[in-house]
Amino acid sequence: MQERRRAMLRAAHGRPGSRPGRPEGRLQSPAVDGYIRPEAGVREQQLSDSLAIQESEMVKLRIRDSLAYFLMALSLAGCSSLMDGGDHSLAVSGEVRSGGGSHALSQRQVALLNSWLGEHRSGWGMVLATPPVPDLVVVVKREDGKSASLDFYLQEGWKSALTYFGSGNKEISQASFPAAEVLALKADLMAPQ
């Protein structure tokens, strides 16, 4: 581009290497139209530096993304779901706790809870969002002798969610079902028998 510009100036003024009003034989300034053009080597170095910075940033992004995927896979591999993985123990007794007090579950309510959980084995997974304070907690004693709890929520956006807390850290699961089904189960368990 710079050579083409110089050729155009030479052709217009008829003197090689000079500009109008300058003595013959004086070399043309690198300034053309008030803009100083960097030498080709400087421009190439700037482009090379810019590409190196971009490549460095891309490598950093790839490493960050790979690390995030690895950590996500690791956390999923270590997560045991209530229904899909480890806990298949049935409840043998239980208690309902809420702000209004507590009462023991009847055998009919224990059987209803076991049946409902048996029908809703899929959809449980790791806890991805911190749940609000539950308005109803069902604490059960399982056939393996361990305790567990099932939390119900009243807060908008959480009415269809359940969180299960088993006896260990790997027995924490969360699921969301149709709100009508969750509310019906909650009503059945809340009614003193």
CA distance 16 to 31: 16
Q: Assess whether 101 and 70 both reside in one domain.
A: no
The residue range of the domain holding 133 is 91-190
Q: Assess whether 105 and 184 both reside in one domain.
A: yes
What pLDDT, on a 0 to 100 scale, did the predictor assign at position 154?
Answer: 92
- Which of 51, 77, 103 is at the close of a domain? 77
Q: Assess whether 61 and 112 both reside in one domain.
A: no
- Which of 55, 77, 99 is at the close of a domain? 77
Per-position b or e across 70-100, b if 16+ CB within 10 A of its CB: eeeeeeeeebbbbbeeebebebeebebebee
85 falls within a domain = no
What pLDDT, on a 0 to 100 scale, did the predictor assign at position 39?
Answer: 59
**Per-residue confidence in pLDDT tens, the chain, 193 aa:** 667 666 666 665 555 544 455 444 444 555 555 555 555 566 777 777 777 788 878 777 777 776 666 555 445 444 444 454 445 578 999 999 998 889 999 999 999 999 999 999 999 998 888 999 999 999 999 998 899 999 999 999 999 999 999 877 678 899 999 999 999 999 999 988 7
Q: Is the pTM of this model over 0.75?
A: no
Q: Assess whether 114 and 174 both reside in one domain.
A: yes
What pLDDT, on a 0 to 100 scale, did the predictor assign at position 181?
Answer: 95
